Amino acid sequence: METKQLGNTGVYVSAIGLGGMPMSIYDRPPESQSIAVIHRALDLGITFIDTADSYCKDESDKHHNERLIHQALTSYQGDISQVIVATKGGLMRPDGSWGRNGNPEHLRQTIRESFEIFGGDKPIDLWQYHSPDPNYTIEASLTPAKEAVEAGLIRFVGVSNFSVEQIKQARDVVDIVSVQNQYSPWHRQPETDGVLQYCEQENITFLPWSPFGGMRRHGNLPDIQAIAQIAQEKNVSLYCIVLAWLSSKSPCILPIPGASKVSSIEDTVTAVNVKLSDAQVQKINQATS
């Protein structure tokens, strides 16, 4: 498996990760199936898994995905010493909806809960502030993360759904190694809002969430003729072409597609070996602009 450095940390992870969200929301698969997916991902060399305290059905189910991932890791028979689990805090799930909560006291509590769920014996590998809450300053909301780093509860810190200006504010509080923003053929804002360029310039890992357009749009991938044609030419799935296209955009990009089936993660991993020519990248650019 090809690897990439996580920010400037000196830590290398697989060039493609596994997103845990589909295993814990809405029509979640049976637990045994999800664990099989995580185990297969590890078998295939994936060493970066992305989750969040809010990947659950509602507040009564909080931290579901974190617990699932920890269970999968502790039951895995192979070596997990190089696996990095990235979690997030700062979103709430009242009645299954999504809402921001940047209250420092809440974030202190959820960081502690995530730390305990992952075993409580080593720092959370990467903790990300899920989305800036306008009710609190970025400094106030990230102070608990800074404290947690100093206390040995968190190893590295990242942010999600942040603008360049907000990333700069965050870096004044604590070292930021990753940014996780939406990026897909339908949502190319990181190319124009300066975030992708800033991450590349500052050696910050960019984690594109919802790379296939999310639950509403991933079924529309065949409608993008350029992607469908290149997939046919290369004899790979549409998803592999999207991941290869994203990876071609910048060396700082580390895709984290979600999976809830073993076949999905097996297909995802093949994308690491798919390389697009400049002409093919341009063709997709034009088709999705």
Separation between Cα atoms, residue 203 and residue 7, nearest integer Å: 5
For residue 27, pLDDT beyond 90: no
Report pLDDT for 73: 98
Q: Give the strand pairing for 91-92 and 99-100.
A: antiparallel
Q: At 221, is the pLDDT very low, low, confident or very high (cuts 50, 70, 90)? A: confident
- Rounded CA Rg of the chain: 18
Separation between Cα atoms, residue 283 and residue 103, nearest integer Å: 45
Tell me the average pLDDT across 105-115: 98
pLDDT, tens digit (0-9, with 9 covering 90-100), for 160-202 = 999 999 999 999 999 999 999 999 998 999 999 999 999 999 9
CB 129 within 8 Å of CB 100: no
Cβ atoms < 10 Å from Cβ of 1: 12
Q: What is residue 204's three-state secondary structure?
A: coil
**Of 24, 105, 94, 28, nearest to 59 (Cα)?**
94
Tell me the average pLDDT across 197-214: 93
**Of 243, 241, 245, 240, nearest to 267 (Cα)?**
240
For residue 218, pLDDT beyond 80: no
For residue 215, pLDDT beyond 70: no
Report pLDDT for 206: 98
pLDDT, tens digit (0-9, with 9 covering 90-100), for 41-88 = 999 999 999 999 999 999 999 999 999 999 999 999 999 999 999 999
* Percent of the chain scoring above 90 in pLDDT: 90
**Of 237, 111, 113, 253, nearest to 184 (Cα)?**
253
Separation between Cα atoms, residue 77 and residue 158, nearest integer Å: 30
Confidence (pTM): 0.95
Report pLDDT for 220: 75
- Which tokens hold the place of 200? 């590349």
Q: What is residue 59's three-state secondary structure?
A: helix
CB 255 within 8 Å of CB 16: yes
pLDDT, tens digit (0-9, with 9 covering 90-100), for 149-169 = 999 999 999 999 999 999 999
Separation between Cα atoms, residue 51 and residue 64, nearest integer Å: 10
How many helical (H) and strand (E) elements, i.e. helices and strands, does the chain have? 12, 11
For residue 104, pLDDT beyond 80: yes
Report pLDDT for 55: 94
Separation between Cα atoms, residue 280 and residue 89, nearest integer Å: 38
Tell me the average pLDDT across 102-111: 98
Q: What is the mean pLDDT of the chain?
A: 95
pLDDT, tens digit (0-9, with 9 covering 90-100), for 248-262 = 999 999 999 999 999
Any idea which residues carry the catalytic annotation?
55
Separation between Cα atoms, residue 226 and residue 280, nearest integer Å: 8
Report pLDDT for 216: 67
What single string gives the DSSP state of each residue in 205-228? EEEEESTT-HHHHGGGGGG-HHHH
HSE value, Cβ hemisphere, 13 Å, CA-based, for 206:
30
Tell me the average pLDDT across 227-233: 94
Of 230 and 215, the structure prediction assigns the larger pLDDT to 230
Tell me the average pLDDT across 118-129: 97
Which of 208-212, 220-224, 260-264, 284-288 has the lowest average pLDDT?
Answer: 220-224
Report pLDDT for 213: 76
